[in-house]
Structures are given as C-alpha cells and as structure tokens.
C-alpha cells in the first residue's frame, strides 16, 4: 500500500525531517530528566527517593503514551487517511508515481482530457449517486444533486473535502500536518488529539522536573545546570505549541467541527436533501426525485428541483420534458426536499457529549488509548453518512414536515394496493 504523501516537495521533506527533530528533542529531554535530574541529582545527591521515583513514573507513562499515539497518528495519516476512491474518469487519468497520486498530463486536443475537466456527471445513472439517495439525508447543491469534485470526478459525500496538498478527496478532512506526518482526517483525528494531549503532559512533566531541580540548586547556592535551562526552553516551546493544538482540537471535538468547517462558519449555510413522503411539494422548498430519470431526448437529467408550487398552490405544469414512468417505478422513487440551514448552524452538531463520543468512542479506555478508530469513521448510520439527527429534526419542524424519515411501511401499503 503506497503512502499518501503531499504533492508538494517542500511539504514532503518537512514531513520527513520533523520526526528527526522531535526524536532528538525527546532524547535530550530523557537524558536531562532521567539521568541528570532524577538519578544524579535527586537520588544520589539529595536522596529524595520519593520525588525521583514519582517523576520517573510520570515521565515514562507520558513518554510511552506520547510515542504510541504518535506512531498511530503517523501510520493513519500516511497509510489510511480516509481518501475517497477516484471516480472512473479520474482513475484513468491518475496513477502512482514514487508512491504518490499524480495526474497524468494530457494534451489540449485530448478529448478524454477535456471530459475529465468537465463538470458533474450528467448521467442519471452516474455511479455513486445511489450512495446518497439510499440514505435519508445528505448535503447537496441548489439542484438537489450532491456536490461534485472535478479533480477526483466523484460525487462528494457529506464532509468530504478535496485536499490540494495530497490531490485527493478525504473523509472529514481536518488539516495536513507536517508535525504529525500527514493528513489529519476522520481516521487519524482521534489519535492526533491524544498525541497533542500526551505531548502537552509530557512537556509539563519535563518542565516540572527541571524547574524543581533548578529551584533546589539555587536554594543550595549551587550554580544552575545549563543542561536544565536548555531543557526548560525546549519543553516550554513544544509544550505551549502542543497545548494550543490540544485546546483547539478539543474545542472542535466538542462542537463537531474541523479546520475545514470552521472557515467562515458564522455565515455558512448548508443545503440538505432530506427524504420526505413521496410526491411532497411545497412553496417553501424545492424537491428532487431519485433515482434521476432518463429522458428520450435532450438533457438526460430532469431538473425536478425548485419546481415550487405556484402562488395558487398548483404544481407548475411539466413542459413535456418529464418522462411518464410506470406506477411501479414511481413507488421505487424517493422524494427529497432541498432544505437550507440558517447561517452558522452546524449540521453535524449533536451536543457536546455525543460529539465527543462520535470521535473518541463510548468507552473511556478508547479515550486514552490509541487502539480503536472513531465510531464516526464506520459510516454505519443508516440515515446519513454522519449523524445529523438534531438538525434534521429542527429542519423538519421548521418546514412543517412530518417528524422522522418516511417509513417504508407506507410504500408497502401502496405496493399492495397496486398489485390488487
């Protein structure tokens, strides 16, 4: 499995060099805290056995946790960052070079190349669309179709973002982090938060141990050890950096946000396609029917969306461009209302406790150990790729729609009536 690396040479080199710097800093801190402070000074000179043992235990607990979470983050960010498979058109245009995804060059007269640059796939049977309408809600464009990535030639599922850094779409992308060695996204965010937390605590232990030893040296009238002073500067620098990252990440965790969501989030408005009883029409919102239907001639995609009711309450007439499907086909269709959130409403916000559990897990052991992936990465929620029941309940109430998704029971009843 090739590592997913940055498309930029500078980032790739930073990613390779940073771990060497980190390893050097940790080796130096270990030498100062273990050898100089605990063994030589506290144990042999001052005979403060209790303090020395307590500091050593704290030091190695956070040392092991920090290294383990770093290794897990590094692995996830490089080998399993949650990249979305390429669409068929992009897959034929891209390939791996030195283990990285690159787009193959194409000439100006390359018809395939031009097709590759084109907008959304207009085929009503476009591969991947069923992943959206088989659920009850998804983020959509004004016309009710999902967002499209013209680089990956793929429909973008909820919270999928295209990263220019690695040239691929990524699930629940957060940021590209040269410190953590790659893409921090759905599969690595939990380990990243654990890593920054343990690094902050590790640096706090180093600061505490060296500051205590320095204070004792000054009390004894000895000249301060310069090794300790250097360790304080290094630990303060990395500690402050890690602490700020931890605070920001925990805030995102509790709000169910990412570095991508946070961009202009106060004004951000989401369009959501929300499944409603079949045939629902309203003057408040547009609707779209899935699966999209093929037309005999002209455009293959029927722009059902925004066929809003006329002021007199009548559905606008079809101008002959709507195919007449059989009643049985009708029953297989699903109607989605295109609803808009208010500015600043975060569709993914489930409340702090559920937001925390979605990423960190439900078991406290999962919170502290870098073993299991975030529950949200399982994509097991039948209603939407990521839970958004809170906003869906709000929107359904706001737009006067029945609470909850339409049951399949009503479809079965209609099917039975049709048969008889």
Residues near Zn ion (CB under 5 A) are 149, 151-152, 162, 169
Pick between residue 97 and residue 342 the one whose CB is nearest to Zn ion: 97
Computed from CA positions of residues 278, 284, 290, 294, in that sequence, does the dihedral angle turn out positive or negative? positive
Determine the Cα–Cα distance for residues 363 and 255; give it in Å rounded to an integer. 20
Pick between residue 94 and residue 346 the one whose CB is nearest to Zn ion: 94
The nearest distance, CB 20 to Zn ion, in angstroms, is 32
Pick between residue 171 and residue 192 the one whose CB is nearest to Zn ion: 171
Pick between residue 85 and residue 299 the one whose CB is nearest to Zn ion: 85
The nearest distance, CB 102 to Zn ion, in angstroms, is 14
Beta pairing partners, 340: 271
Pick between residue 145 and residue 162 the one whose CB is nearest to Zn ion: 162
**Long-range contacts of the stretch 294-303 (C-beta < 8 A, 24+):** 294/124, 294/125, 294/323, 295/321, 295/323, 296/323, 299/122, 300/122, 300/123, 300/124, 301/122, 301/124, 302/124, 303/143
**Long-range contacts of the stretch 355-362 (C-beta < 8 A, 24+):** 355/253, 355/254, 355/255, 355/256, 356/253, 356/254, 358/256, 358/386, 358/387, 359/189, 359/190, 359/193, 359/253, 359/256, 360/190, 360/193, 360/253, 361/190
Nearest Cα neighbor of 176 from 365, 5, 401, 398 is 5
The nearest distance, CB 171 to Zn ion, in angstroms, is 11
Pick between residue 151 and residue 174 the one whose CB is nearest to Zn ion: 151
The nearest distance, CB 167 to Zn ion, in angstroms, is 8
The nearest distance, CB 73 to Zn ion, in angstroms, is 23
Q: 């395939």: which residue's tokens? A: 112
The nearest distance, CB 369 to Zn ion, in angstroms, is 33
Q: Are 54 and 61 in contact (CB under 8 A)?
A: no
Q: Are 163 and 170 in contact (CB under 8 A)?
A: yes
The nearest distance, CB 146 to Zn ion, in angstroms, is 13
Determine the Cα–Cα distance for residues 130 and 138; give it in Å rounded to an integer. 12
Using DSSP bridges, classify how beta strands 100-103 and 271-276 pair: parallel, antiparallel or unpaired.
unpaired
Determine the Cα–Cα distance for residues 181 and 415; give it in Å rounded to an integer. 54
The nearest distance, CB 170 to Zn ion, in angstroms, is 8
Pick between residue 149 and residue 272 the one whose CB is nearest to Zn ion: 149
Pick between residue 162 and residue 293 the one whose CB is nearest to Zn ion: 162
Pick between residue 63 and residue 132 the one whose CB is nearest to Zn ion: 132
DSSP 299: -
The nearest distance, CB 183 to Zn ion, in angstroms, is 13
């Amino acid at each position: 499995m090739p590592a997913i690396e940055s498309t930029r040479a500078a980032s790739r080199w930073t990613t390779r060099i940073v771990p060497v710097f980190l390893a050097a800093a940790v080796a130096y801190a270990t030498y100062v805290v273990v050898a100089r402070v605990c063994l030589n000074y506290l144990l042999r000179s001052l005979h403060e056995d209790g303090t020395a043992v307590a500091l050593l235990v704290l030091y190695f607990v956070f040392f092991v946790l920090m290294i383990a979470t770093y290794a897990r983050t590094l692995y996830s960010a490089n080998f399993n960052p949650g990249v979305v498979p390429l669409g068929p058109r992009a897959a034929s245009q891209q390939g791996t070079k030195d283990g990285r995804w690159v787009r193959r060059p194409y000439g100006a007269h390359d018809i395939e190349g031009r097709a590759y640059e084109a907008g959304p796939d207009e085929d009503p049977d476009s591969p991947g669309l069923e992943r959206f309408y088989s659920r009850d809600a998804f983020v959509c464009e004004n016309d009710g179709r999902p967002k499209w990535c013209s680089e990956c030639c793929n429909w973008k599922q909820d919270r999928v973002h295209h990263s220019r850094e690695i040239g691929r779409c990524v699930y629940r992308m957060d940021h590209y982090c040269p410190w953590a060695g790659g893409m921090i996204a759905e599969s690595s965010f939990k380990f990243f938060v654990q890593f920054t937390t343990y690094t902050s605590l590790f640096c706090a232990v180093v600061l505490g141990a060296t500051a205590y030893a320095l204070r004792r040296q000054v009390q004894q009238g000895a000249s301060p050890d310069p090794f300790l002073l250097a360790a304080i500067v290094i630990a303060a620098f990395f500690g402050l950096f890690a602490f700020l990252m931890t605070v920001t990440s925990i805030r995102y965790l509790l709000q169910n946000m990412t570095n991508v969501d946070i961009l202009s989030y106060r004004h951000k408005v989401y369009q959501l396609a929300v499944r409603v009883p079949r045939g629902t029409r309203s003057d408040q919102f547009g609707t779209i029917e899935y699966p999209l239907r093929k037309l005999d001639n002209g455009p293959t995609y029927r722009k059902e969306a925004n066929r809003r009711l006329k002021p007199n309450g009548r559905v606008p007439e079809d101008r002959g461009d709507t195919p007449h499907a059989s009643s049985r086909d009708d029953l297989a269709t699903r109607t989605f209302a295109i609803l808009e959130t208010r500015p600043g409403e975060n569709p993914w916000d489930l409340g702090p406790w559920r937001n925390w559990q979605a990423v960190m897990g439900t078991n406290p052991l999962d919170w502290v150990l870098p073993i299991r992936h975030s529950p949200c990465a399982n994509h097991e929620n039948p209603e939407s790729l990521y839970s958004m029941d809170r906003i869906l309940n709000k929107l359904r109430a706001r737009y006067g729609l029945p609470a909850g998704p339409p049951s399949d029971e009503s479809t079965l009843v209609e099917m039975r009536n049709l048969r008889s």
